[in-house]
Homo-oligomer: A and B are copies of this chain.
Amino acid sequence: MRAEIVAIGTELLLGQVVDTNSAFIAEQLAGSGIDCVFQTRVGDNLDRIVEALEIALSRSDAVVTCGGLGPTQDDITREAVARVMGVTLRRDPGLLEVVEKFFAARGRNMAASNAKQADLPEGASAIPQRRGTAPGLVCPVGEKVVYCLPGVPDELREMVGRAVLPDLRARSGEQSVIVSRTLRTWGLSESTLAEVVAPRLEHLDRAGGGAPTIAFLASGIEGIKLRVTVKAPDAASAEVALAREESELRHLLGTRVFAVDDETMEHAVGRLLLGRGLTLAVAESFTGGLIASRIVAVAGASRWFRGGVVAYAAEVKHEVLGVPPGPVVTAEAAAAMAAGVRRLLGADVGLATTGVAGPDPQEGRAPGTAFAGVALLAGPPDAVALRLSGDRARIRQIGTISALDELRRRLLAAG
């Protein structure tokens, strides 16, 4: 089973919008075992959309399009796919009612142009909308199929999971269930990680065909992911196989696994604090608010996060956080900052960063030199050196996650 993606919209060709939809669809296809060998982007031009669809259908079994289903004049995906199918559009009364109700529920007048979102190519079926107004389309073309999805990422993502993947799997005659789980790791290089899990990979290799497969995904600043994929006759046995494989890998990786699937480092830290009934305050120098801003992005963080101090100038470290006079790019300063912010903000735990983000050295220390301090309850604060590299932005981002990871592992060790 081979599928292609055709992203539609002149804004993509002008480079005004980065095409994240195609990446999302591609990842979902790969996770379902469906090959995707070409992706095309084309503007809001009828002839060229038709050409792109015909080329894609000539070499693949299925095409997923995104964009061009809105109410404006340049939204012409419906027309293009109808031409490829060799049929006309007809207005669907049931879909029209949905669009009308959407506007009525918001007390807004429906512009006449919106009615075209109820048009369907003859022989196509609709994927009902749950978030917006434009339904998706399932358009058979001989033995092949074109799925048309709206370009709004939220609407598209929901329809891929609910309608496109199940339909593709049914068409491929695939009876079994393919499920993935991603273990997120921090603190090991890709090569070290590969060495650590090598015995397990060799075991799975020897087990052959039906065994789980494991892929390494480098995710930029968010650590390295291990994706486990299993194929099983039904959901229940897939879950058993997934759980067993996760347990084998966790046995090898220990606390290097900080989260599963979409959970972030700050979610993992929040969960640990919440479970222990502890509150957190942060003091940031070179990370300059990045730790706090990631934490505040977690809904419900107010239950465990009190706030922080961005101590960018050295005097703020001394005067507001009580760091003793002297150099500030040191482990001692990081520990004192952690203790100071914990006290100042009345939190149970203090976390602090100090370091050199660059481009210039500071206190004679090179960019990338950095320390994370932790003050846990009334215990003596202390700090560790972080080894960071890259440009200013990267040093700050890696420093942020490294500091959160340091706190995470200390909370785990404290039990």
A residues whose Cβ falls under 8 Å from a Cβ of B: 12-20, 22-30, 36-43, 45, 48, 52, 55, 217-218, 282, 284, 286-293, 295-297, 299, 301-302, 305-313, 315-316, 319-320, 344-346, 357, 359, 392-393, 396
Contact = CB atoms under 8 A, between A and B. Distances in A.
Given A289-B291, A309-B309, A359-B299, A13 B39 contact: yes
In the A-B complex, the 8 residue pairs with the closest CB atoms: A288-B296, A15-B27, A289-B292, A289-B289, A15-B26, A289-B293, A39-B41, A308-B310
A8 to B, nearest CB: 11
Given A288-B293, A296-B396, A307-B313, 8 more contacts: A15-B30, A16-B218, A39-B41, A40-B41, A305-B313, A306-B313, A307-B309, A308-B310
> How many of these chains are in the complex?
2
B37 A27 contact: no
A266 to B, nearest CB: 11
Given A23-B12, A37-B13, A307 B311 contact: yes
A314 to B, nearest CB: 9
Given A309-B310, A312-B302, A41 B38 contact: yes
Per DSSP, chain A at the interface is mixed
Nearest to A292: B289
Nearest to A294: B289
A319 B291 contact: no
A172 B25 CA distance: 37
A55 B313 CA distance: 57
A14 B219 CA distance: 13
Contact of A37 (B43, B284, B346): B43
Contact of A296 (B39, B52, B310): B310
A26 B40 contact: no
A14 B37 contact: no
A18 B284 CA distance: 30
A14 B15 CA distance: 21
B297 A307 contact: no
Among A301, A320, A359, max chain B CB count under 10 A is at A320
A346 B317 CA distance: 12
Contact of A27 (B16, B288, B302, B345): B16
B19 A36 contact: no
9 contacts: A15-B28, A22-B41, A39-B40, A55-B55, A282-B310, A289-B289, A290-B296, A297-B393, A302-B313
B38 A26 contact: no
A393 B293 CA distance: 10
Given A23-B12, A45-B37, A344-B320, A301 B296 contact: no
Contacts of A344: 320
A17 B48 CA distance: 26
Contacts of A25: 15
Contacts of A309: 307-310
A30 B302 CA distance: 46
Among A289, A297, A313, max chain B CB count under 10 A is at A289
Given A40-B40, A292-B310, A18 B15 contact: no
Contacts of A359: 299
B45 A30 contact: no
A302 to B, nearest CB: 6
Given A13-B26, A16-B27, A296 B312 contact: yes
Nearest to A30: B14
A14 B288 CA distance: 34
A52 B30 contact: no
B39 A38 contact: no
A171 B17 CA distance: 28
B289 A296 contact: yes
Contacts of A18: 18-20, 23
A23 B30 contact: no
A297 B38 contact: no
